[in-house]
Each structure stands twice: as C-alpha cells, then as structure tokens.
Amino acid sequence: MILAVFEVPFTSFQVPLEVVVLGLVTGLIYALLGIGLVIVYKSSRVINFAHGEMGALAASLIPVLVISRHWNYWAALVVGLAAAAAAGAVTELVVIRKLTKAPRLIVLVATIGISQLFYAIGAFIPKDDLGSAVFPTPFDLAVTIGSLRLDSGRILIVVAVPVLALGVTVFFRRTRLGLASRAAAENNDAARLAGVPVRKVSLAVWTIAGVLAGASAILVGPTQPIVTRVALGPSLMLRALAAAMIGGMVSLPAVFAGGIFIGLTEQLVLWNYPTGGVLEITLFAIILGSLLVRKGFGALARGAESSSWSLAGSLRQLPPTVARLPQIRAAKVAMIGGLIALSVLLPVPFSNAHRVLLTSIVVFATMGLSLVVLTGFAGQVSLGQFAFVGLGAIVGGRMHELGYPPWMALLYAAIAGGLVALAIGLPALRLRGLFLAVTTLGFAVAAQGWLYQQRWLVHNVGGRSSLEIPRPTLWGVDFQDERNYYWLCLVVLVITATAVNRLRVSGIGRAMMAVRDNEPAAATLAVPPRRIKLIAFVLAGMIASVAGYFYGGLLVSFSEPSTFAVELSLALVAMVILGGVTTITGSILGALWL
C-alpha cells in the first residue's frame, strides 16, 4: 500500500513518498562514488574509469570471508577496505605515476584497462560455495515505510554514506594533506617548488579514493545477488559522473547533493515512465545541462589540457623534402600496395568462421577511423562512438525493412549519424576534452536504452524485422558468401581510409590539427574553432554509422541491445589509442589487437 502520493498539478506525474525515500537512498551511493571520482580528478586531472572495479574487487572478498570462511563481518570489512586501498595505491604507483607527463587521453585509456584487469582478477575469487546466500551485513534490521521495506543493507547506506562524505570533506578542507592536495591540483609545478611532496600527496589521494570505491561497492553489495558479483559498470558510473558534473568536479558538498538529486530523479522517472527509455534520456539531459550551465567548466577543461596534459599526442611527419624523395614515395606506394594485395588474398585459404573474424577486424578498423578524425585530428574525445555504430545499423535495418535498396539504406544511415553527431557535438562549442567525453558516454548509455524501445525505428511486421540487415546480391555477386562480404567491407575500409588521408592534408584537416594543438592561436589566424569541431563530429558520426551498417550486415541480426553495449565504446577508444590515434594505420593496428 502506497503511504502518500503527491501529484504535480495539471500533470499525471506522481511523487509517492516511498519512491522519494528509495531515491534518496539510491542517490547516496551515487554521491559517494561521485566524491571518489572528484578527489582523483582534482589531484590527477583524469576521470578514473577504474574506480568502480577497484571497489568491486574488494567487495567480492566480503561474502567469501564472512560466509565461506566464517570470519567476523568487521574483520572482513577491514580486509576488504585494505584491498581497495591497495588497489588505489598500486594503480597510482604502477600506472598513474609513470604516465604523469603522458597525454590525458592515454591515462584515461589506462584506467579503462586497469578496470578490465581488476574485473579479471575478481573472476578468480571463488564463489562456488556461496549458493543463494545474501551479501552479509553487520546487523539484521528492517524499517517499513508504507509499501517500501528498507532492509539492513539500505539502512547501512543511510547511516554510513553521510558520515563518510562528511569525513572526506572535512579531511580535504582542514588537514595539511588535504590542503596540499588542493595546492597540487591548482598548480602541480608551483606546489612542488613550494615544497609540497606532490608524489606522496597523489599516492594518498588515490589510496583514499580506493577506500571510497571499496566502501561504495560494499554498500551496494546487499542490493545485488552475490552470483552476479557486485557490478559497478558504465551505467552506474555514469550516474556518479553526473553527480560529479553537478558539483563542477570541484565541490564535494555539491557532488553529494548532485548524487541525491540523480537518485531521486531516477526513481521518480522509473515510477512514472517505466518503459520507453525515458530514464536514459533524462540522465543524458542532466549531464548536458550541468555542462552547459556551469561557467567554470570551460576554464577547468582547458586547464586540464595544457602542455603535458594535452589529450592526444601527435605524430611527427617526415620533412617535406624527405617525403618527396623518389625512393621514399616508391617505398610508400609499394608498402600500401603490398598490404592491400595481402588483405585481398587473406581470406582465400580460410574457413567461413575465420572469414567472419577477418571481416570484423576490417569493420572495426573502419569504426576506428571515426576516432582518428575526431580525436586524432580535432582533439575531441568520444566515449560513445559505438552508439553511432548502433545507430547506423538500426537505421539501415529500418530502411531495408521499408523496402529501400541497399545504397539508399546506407545513405540514410550515414545522414542519421551525421545529424545526431551534430546535435551531440554542440557541447564542443563550449567544452573539449574529458568533460566532453562524459557527455558522449552519457549519449552511449542513453542510446543503448532508448533506441531499442522506439517503435518507429525498431519494427517487426510480417516476419520482417528492422533489427537485421540482409546481405544483397549486387552486380551478380552474392554477398551472403563470407568471402565476398569480406571483400566488400575491405573496399569500404580502403575508400574510407583514402578519404581520411585526403582530409588530413586538406585545409580542413590542417585546421582541425591547429584547433587541437592551440585553439586560441588558431582563432587568431581566422580558423573558426566551433565550425571545425562540428565538422569533425559530423564526419566522425557518419564514418561510424557507415561502419555500423556493415557491422549489422556482418551480424545479420542484432536484436539484443547488448550488441552495441557501452563497454564496446570504451574498447573502441582503447583500440585506437593503442594503435595510434593520430594515424590511419593506428586504427588498423588497433583492430588487429582487439
């Protein structure tokens, strides 16, 4: 029985008391996660995508120690938090400290890799004898509010999170270490000259962040089945990032309030609009709004990208006099021709299963070219590029279902990708860098939850589905054959790579690189940064959507939303960074690695 319901005048929007309470409890977790992200960002100027898995690894130890090994809960808690602290400290010592002078995009990708490493380590923690046991809590207590039952896990959240948040805030405002971390965050070099032990401060901050991550995961644990392992994936991290954005990535009290606001909004939207992807769109709107409303983000973003903190490294080109030498040009043509010939002959001796794998490499290389344009040339970071891949596949499938020929379906997919990229790229007029990356991550989460629920786009009529792209027969060639489809995708890759290479040496390409390297200087030379950024976004969106169309043809059917999961966007970024984000060959090498 619902205890009390408030209804917004002139609408059907309901605000039940129980939903408000549940939203407040949920928001406390988002707040604690957001605080952990902010203290790391203030110290290292990087968004730590390993934050969730640091905590999840520690939380996985609690049920094993308490249930399987019969430890006391508090002893297990100490071990779990110590493991989380160690995870944070090791991350700083082994990775972050080594990458102090590296581009921030490299560090961001490193945190994604660390996240995967911690997840893999957690898989080795034995859970076979846990059965259907629930995540342990230190007490057994329940409070009933109308139809809502707050169990001991949620009561623990209500008690622990405000204490932790207050303690962290006071620590960073009042203690010498906290003041030193603020000084180091403002100006690392000046703090070092003033005698601040910057490295020790960074180590302490990452250790504290690890403890907060562990505490967050342990508090989340009782709300999830043990068999699924405590999950702090991109969806939950996006909510924490939204809270951090509301706080401006600076103010811990504002982050705390932002987390509660996100939790309350989430539960109220789910209560009133349980289907249709409204929640994901709402979260994306909150992130976008927080970026556009706050005036300090522009300076903060630029401050995080100066000198050694630049987002994307650049590749030094051969001097023009050397590049024009006949032997250099001949070697370049011979190498490219040889690689293309090898690629053409590659699928001939293999089975169809291996041909599918080779085709996927080619398609992923085409996807990666979109990031070469956006990040490598223009310096804009996207963590949601796979959403454009999904958009291209779904729009292409819908056009096929409506009876359009393949070339028209491909054209519509490319146009859709460009238009959506234009809309998402609008924040680039105000921001760049890691904050923009959060916006694109929000778009990826929203797209995964929203696109598949739109009846005008996802359609099934008379046995025909828009979630499939049938391979056609063109010019007498049957592309149902895996070898022929590989060659078709290879042609698309070569054409796209050639176009990207021409873009690189064109006036627009040089303007992109000028904006990437020094936006104010480019503006003084009559280069319009806003227009150049939007062009990069549109081109990248179109390339990714075209690749998505052919990816849909490779899969034939893509009815599961997980086909275009957010994690694949992060993997795509890692792929291109590892291969070399500023070069066309980097995308191809990265696809081979992936």
**pLDDT tens digits, one per residue of 402-423:** 889 999 999 999 999 999 999 8
Q: Is 12 within a domain? A: yes
Predicted confidence at residue 322, as pLDDT, reads 67
Work out how many domains the chain is built from and give that number: 2
The C-alpha angle with vertex 241 and arms to 236 and 243, in degrees rounded to 5, equals 100
- Residue predicted with more confidence, 464 or 92: 92
Q: Is the dihedral of CA 519, 521, 523, 528 positive or negative?
A: negative
Largest CA distance in the chain: 83
> Looking at the DSSP assignment, which residues form a beta bridge with residue 14?
7
Percent of the chain at pLDDT above 70? 88
> Could you tell me if 170 and 34 lie in one domain?
yes
On the question of pLDDT at 227 being above 60, the answer is: no
Rounded to the nearest 10 degrees, the angle between the axes of helix 529-555 and helix 385-401 is 60
> Could you tell me if 263 and 347 lie in one domain?
no
Q: Is 296 within a domain? A: no
User: Where do runs of H (alpha helix) occur along 346-472?
Assistant: 352-371, 385-401, 406-424, 434-450
Q: Is 283 within a domain? A: no
Predicted confidence at residue 121, as pLDDT, reads 85
Nearest to 495 by CA among 446, 543, 531, 431: 543
> Could you tell me if 350 and 235 lie in one domain?
no
**pLDDT tens digits, one per residue of 243-273:** 998 888 888 999 999 999 999 999 999 888 8
Nearest to 103 by CA among 305, 249, 299, 303: 305
Predicted confidence at residue 309, as pLDDT, reads 32
Residue 187's identity, in one-letter code, is: N
Question: Last residue of a domain, which of 244, 272, 300?
Answer: 272
Predicted confidence at residue 370, as pLDDT, reads 95
> Looking at the DSSP assignment, which residues form a beta bridge with residue 143?
150
Predicted confidence at residue 69, as pLDDT, reads 85
> Could you tell me if 367 and 232 lie in one domain?
no
User: Which 3 state secondary structure label does DSSP give 6?
Assistant: strand
Q: Is 301 within a domain? A: no
- Residue predicted with more confidence, 283 or 13: 283
Predicted confidence at residue 311, as pLDDT, reads 46
Length of the chain: 594
Burial class (CB in 10 A: 0-12, 13-18, 19+), 507: exposed
Nearest to 554 by CA among 490, 511, 461, 503: 490
**pLDDT tens digits, one per residue of 119-148:** 888 877 776 666 667 788 888 888 888 788
Distances, alpha carbon 149 to alpha carbons 6, 138, 267, in Å: 20, 18, 15
- 3-state SS of 374-406 is HHHHCCCCCCCHHHHHHHHHHHHHHHHHCCCCH
Predicted confidence at residue 250, as pLDDT, reads 84
Question: Last residue of a domain, which of 222, 241, 272?
Answer: 272
- Residue predicted with more confidence, 144 or 363: 363
User: b/e map of 284-302 (b: 16 or more CB within 10 Å)?
Assistant: bebbbebbeebeebeebbe
Beta strands in 46-205 (DSSP E): 143-145, 148-150
> Could you tell me if 343 and 252 lie in one domain?
no
Average pLDDT over residues 459-472: 74
> Could you tell me if 424 and 514 lie in one domain?
yes
Q: Which pLDDT band holds residue 433 (cuts at 50, 70, 90)?
A: low
> Could you tell me if 343 and 264 lie in one domain?
no
Question: Last residue of a domain, which of 250, 272, 294?
Answer: 272
Lowest mean pLDDT among 74-78, 196-200, 538-542: 196-200
- Whether 442 and 283 have beta carbons less than 8 Å apart is answered as yes
Distance CA 240, CA 30 (A): 5
- Whether 32 and 191 have beta carbons less than 8 Å apart is answered as no
Average pLDDT over residues 368-379: 92
User: Which 3 state secondary structure label does DSSP give 460?
Assistant: strand
- Residue predicted with more confidence, 400 or 417: 417
> Could you tell me if 363 and 502 lie in one domain?
yes
Written as six digits, the tokens of 502 are 């021409």
Q: What is the DSSP letter of 5?
A: E
- Residue predicted with more confidence, 303 or 526: 526
Highest mean pLDDT among 107-121, 176-190, 316-330: 107-121
Q: What is the mean pLDDT of the chain?
A: 84
Q: Which pLDDT band holds residue 535 (cuts at 50, 70, 90)?
A: very high
Q: Is 323 within a domain? A: no
Lowest mean pLDDT among 243-247, 251-255, 338-342, 432-436: 432-436
Predicted confidence at residue 379, as pLDDT, reads 85
> Could you tell me if 136 and 28 lie in one domain?
yes
- Whether 537 and 551 have beta carbons less than 8 Å apart is answered as no
Residue 550's identity, in one-letter code, is: F
> Could you tell me if 418 and 542 lie in one domain?
yes
- Residue predicted with more confidence, 315 or 575: 575
What is the DSSP annotation of 8-31?
-TTS--EEEHHHHHHHHHHHHHHH
- 3-state SS of 87-120 is HHHHHHHHHHCCCCCCCHHHHHHHHHHHHHHHHH
- Whether 122 and 229 have beta carbons less than 8 Å apart is answered as yes
**pLDDT tens digits, one per residue of 66-92:** 888 889 999 999 999 999 999 999 999
Residue 94's identity, in one-letter code, is: V
- Whether 240 and 20 have beta carbons less than 8 Å apart is answered as no
> Could you tell me if 408 and 541 lie in one domain?
yes
> Could you tell me if 47 and 157 lie in one domain?
yes
Q: Is 113 within a domain? A: yes
Predicted confidence at residue 374, as pLDDT, reads 92
Q: What is the DSSP letter of 572?
A: H
Q: Is 506 within a domain? A: yes
CATH number of the domain where residue 166 is located = 1.10.3470
Q: Is 321 within a domain? A: no
Nearest to 572 by CA among 380, 369, 310, 314: 369
Instruction: Quickly tell me which residue has 């988002």 as its tokens.
Output: 30
Distance CA 564, CA 542 (A): 17
Residue 115: give the domain boundaries: 5-272
**pLDDT tens digits, one per residue of 501-525:** 999 989 999 999 998 888 888 888 8
